[in-house]
Amino acid sequence: MEPFTIFINVVAIILGYFIGSINPAYIFGRMKNFDIREKGDGVAGTVNAFKSLGMKYAIPTGTFDFFKGILAIYLALLLGADFVFAQLSGLAAIAGHVFPFYIKFRGGQGMATTSGILLAYLLNYLLTSLEMLIFIFIYLIFVLAIFVYVTKTGIIVAIIALGLIGYAAFLYYPGNPYNLFFLIVVVYDMSVSLYDTIKGKVIKIEDENFKTHWWRVATRPFAFLFIFFYIIFDKIIALLIIGIVAIAFITLELTRFLNKQTNDLLTVKIKSIFKKGEEKKFSSMTIFLVATFISILLFDKDIAITALTFLIFGDIFSKIFGLAYGRHKIFQKTLEGTLAYFGCVLISGFILYNTIGIPILILIIGGIAAPLVELFSFQLNDNFTVSLISGSIMTAARIFGL
């Protein structure tokens, strides 16, 4: 690389940082003789400008914050910076917004700036081909509509949208030079949104049983490791691994059944291990392991993976969204929890279709069956019924040539 080119590239990044560090929310606040970071939510950004200064100042703040990342990239290209360094200039603008040097490196979150860069990248994808446009209007809008109805909370919907769009970009535009930078911005936006969700306690669950056993939901995604073992190893190895873990859990359960003191210790004194009602029966953890073993043993690989994926992640979505946003009871479940389960099926099904190649019709049949089985399980444990029944239905569909 020529010395002059290196110089231009360095200048482009520095320029991007300085453009990003221009913070209208802070400047307008100082014009009103206060530090906007001491008002509202404490963030020097568009939302706080609206809350603390009003629409008159929020509009120019939002407009400049939205376009300054794009402006940094455009100016870098005009200067003759390499493509990569031009994109880095845009990222530097985000850094400048978040860490402006003249106000002790405490600015805004950069969400407006990242939104502008994301839109520019999306337009590039759309101009390349129409796959992203079809994905957004046929699939994404439908998925997001479900979670808009369930949560009525934009930030959660934004997290889901960002994750799916990020995945779609790599799926439909492999090798596109913007992909890496698009991913960086998507991950940043998702991280900030997740932080705001947790900090703002957007998801509030008052259920005492959940509060005691929250760790069982939090660790549930790790159950996907069993599916991962099945993907990379053959069926025998996967069954051996799952079987060993299942036998360990069954042994523990039988031990507490046969020994009252052990049972009291695990279910009464240490209440966080077993749920209420599991004192005299197998826990959902053990039942899940048994169902996983049977599913892998009986079903074709793609069907077993699909059924278990629906079970693992659908159960998480159903439980969290049902407890946090459930407004309409259906049997022992809620409409919102069931819709969240179905939304999760749409998300995971889309990924499964593009990774393991399961036929779309079989996937749709299984995707409809899983949340319905979960809803109508009644007294049966859905950790057992969902994968086995939905897997059986998908297997029947395959046998009948669907």
pLDDT tens for 271-298 read 667 776 767 788 888 999 999 999 999 9
- Tokens 């206060």, residue located: 34
C-alpha closest to that of 230 among 180, 293, 174: 293
Q: For the chain, how are helix, strand and coil distributed in percent, rounded to 5?
A: 80, 0, 20
The pLDDT value recorded for residue 271 is 66
Q: Please, are residues 60 and 80 in contact by the beta-carbon 8 Å criterion?
A: no
Q: Is the pLDDT of residue 268 over 70?
A: no
Determine the Cα–Cα distance for residues 294 and 142; give it in Å rounded to an integer: 33
Question: What is the pLDDT averaged over residues 300-324?
Answer: 95
The whole-chain average pLDDT of the chain stands at 90
Could you tell me which residues come within 8 angstroms of residue 372 by beta carbon, excluding any fewer than 6 positions away? Answer: none
pLDDT value at residue 140 = 93
- Listing DSSP states for 39-60 in one string gives STTS--SHHHHHHHH-HHHHHH
Q: What is the pLDDT of residues 65-118, one digit of tens each?
A: 999 999 999 999 999 999 999 999 999 999 999 999 988 888 889 999 999 999
- 65 in Cβ contact with 112 (< 8 Å): yes
Tell me the residue ranges of DSSP E strands in 20-141. none
Q: Which two tokens stand for residue 279?
A: 């004192």
Over range 360-371, report the average pLDDT.
95
Kindly state the helix (H) or strand (E) to which residue 199 belongs, with its residue range.
helix 179-199
What Å distances lie between residue 311 and 10, 148, 317, 328, CA to CA? 50, 23, 10, 22
The conformational region for residue 357 under phi > 0 = left, psi -120 to 50 = alpha, else beta, is: left
Which of 308, 274, 271 lies closest to 389, judged by CA?
Answer: 308
pLDDT at 345: 96
> φ, ψ for residue 329 (rounded to 5)?
-75, 135
Q: Output the DSSP codes for 229-267.
A: HHHHS-HHHHHHHHHHHHHHHHHHHHHHHH-HHHHHIII
Mean pLDDT, range 174-183, rounded to an integer? 94
> Would you kindly state where each structural domain of the chain is located, as residue ranges?
1-108, 129-202, 208-399
The per-residue pLDDT for 88 is 96
Q: In this predicted structure, which of 84-88, 222-226, 394-398 has the lowest mean pLDDT?
A: 222-226
d(CA 302, CA 280): 35
Strand-pair partners of 334: 329
Contact 116, 305 (CB under 8 A): no
Say which residue the tokens 């439908």 belong to.
142
pLDDT band at 194 (very low <50, low <70, confident <90, very high): very high
Residue 381: which of 279, 298, 288, 293 has the closest Cα? Answer: 288
Contact 52, 36 (CB under 8 A): yes
pLDDT at 363: 95
Share of residues in the chain with pLDDT > 70 (%): 97
DSSP letter (8 states) at residue 81: -
Percent of the chain with pLDDT over 90: 63
Whether the pLDDT of residue 39 is over 90: the answer is no
How many other β-carbons are positioned within 10 Å of the β-carbon of residue 119? Answer: 14
- The distance of Cα 344 from the centroid of its chain, to the nearest Å, equals 10
Overall average pLDDT of the 128-156 stretch: 92
Confidence band of 14 (pLDDT split at 50, 70, 90): very high
Task: Summarize pLDDT for 322-341 with one digit per residue, the tens.
Answer: 999 999 998 888 999 999 99
Provide the phi-psi class of 292: left if phi over 0, else alpha when psi is between -120 and 50, else beta.
Answer: alpha
Q: Is 330 helix (H, G, I), strand (E, B) or coil?
A: strand
- Residue 15 CA to residue 162 CA, distance in Å, equals 28
